[in-house]
Amino acid sequence: MNTVIVILSLAVNHDWDLQQFDVKNVFLHGDLEEEIYMELPPGYDEQVATRIVCKLKKDLYGLKQSSREWFGRFTRVVTSLGYKQSQGDHTLFIKHSISVGVTMLLVYMDDIIVIGDDKKEQQKLSQRLVAEFEIKTLWRLKYFFEIKVTRSKKGIFIFQQKYIIDLLKETGKTTCKPASTLVDPNTKLGSVEEDITVDKEMYQRLVGKLIYLSHTRPDITLLLV
């Protein structure tokens, strides 16, 4: 998140455009180094499915190594174009042109932000990415890290209203009212036997999303000037 803030600050202070790309079916672009087999997908005859397995030629969603293999291939492509990978944040790539300026690229899963003052280099980068991967050019940055980004003459505003509303809908809390305390101090806790069974997966997912919100600071609307 610190890198994102720096990127947005540079865009405002230098009046750089924020260009965004989206990679379609991102994990399918990774090349497997291991030999991996999977069961036949639903729809095949049960007798056949018990005797035959599939050998994967490409990454699939759900494999533990999918994100690593995708990012490894992406890194090789970008560095072959002369970009240097930041040692402070490996998702950031920088290229300094000899006489023009700089181009910076930040990637998070299937979302890519490109900023800088070298228009020709940005065009070449876009063409190469389209040739290597299935890329959808979104032009001006609107959403990144589940964060909405809006730009005006006063600066750049970032906020996560949509993410929070979606989270409330998912957990059925849209009608809840805000409270000054997180827990009613007069609530009496019962024994474990009396508790309602908790959906473990939903609880873990909710905790993970709340941790993500705390890291990305959703409690403020940031104005960079």
What pLDDT digit, counting tens, does each position of 156-201 carry? 887 888 888 888 888 888 888 877 777 777 777 666 666 667 778 8
Position with higher pLDDT, 224 vs 173: 173
Q: Is residue 54 in some structural domain?
A: no
Q: Is residue 48 in some structural domain?
A: no
Q: Which two tokens stand for residue 193?
A: 């036997």
Q: Is residue 58 in some structural domain?
A: no
For residue 132, count other CB atoms closer than 10 A to its CB: 16
Q: Is residue 137 in some structural domain?
A: yes
Strand order in the sheet with 155-159: 143-144, 147-152, 155-159, 222-224
Q: Is residue 38 in some structural domain?
A: no
DSSP-assigned letter for residue 203: H
- pLDDT at residue 94 in the model: 93
Q: What is the pTM of this model?
A: 0.71
% of the chain surpassing 70 pLDDT: 88
Binning pLDDT at 50, 70 and 90, where does residue 83 land? very high
CA distances for 106 relative to 21, 35, 95, 102, angstroms = 10, 31, 12, 13
Question: Distance between CA 35 and CA 56 in Å, rounded?
Answer: 7
- pLDDT at residue 79 in the model: 93
Binning pLDDT at 50, 70 and 90, where does residue 69 land? confident
Q: Is residue 44 in some structural domain?
A: no
- pLDDT at residue 104 in the model: 92
- Contact between 159 and 137 (Cβ < 8 Å): no
Q: Is residue 46 in some structural domain?
A: no
- pLDDT at residue 189 in the model: 67
Amino acid at 69: E
Burial class (CB in 10 A: 0-12, 13-18, 19+), 205: middle
DSSP-assigned letter for residue 159: E
User: Sign of the CA dihedral 170, 172, 178, 184?
Assistant: negative
Domain range spanning residue 137?
2-27+67-224
| Overall number of domains in the chain | 1
Q: Is residue 37 in some structural domain?
A: no
